[in-house]
Amino acid sequence: MIEVIEKYYLLFMVYAILGWLMEVICKSIEYKRFINRGFLIGPYCPIYGWGALFITLLLSKYTHDPA
């Protein structure tokens, strides 16, 4: 059980950080200066983490389906 929680926590954090990084890079290119797109203290945006978690959980039953 602990391994499953750790796996989903790491999945959440990795995608939250990658999503924040993607937004910061895109907006920095657009406005030619650093813009922090996160609303929390730290380099992560939880909406990307939750999205990755929900997609992973909802599509996990199709892992063995070739289509």
Cα 64 to chain centroid distance, Å, stands at 24
Q: Do the Cβ atoms of 23 and 37 come closer than 8 Å? A: yes
Give the pLDDT of the chain (67 residues) as one tens digit per residue: 889 899 999 999 999 999 999 999 999 999 999 988 777 788 889 999 999 999 999 998 888 887 7
| Alpha-carbon span 34 to 24, nearest angstrom | 7
What pTM did the predictor assign? Answer: 0.82
Nearest Cα neighbor of 37 from 52, 28, 49 is: 28
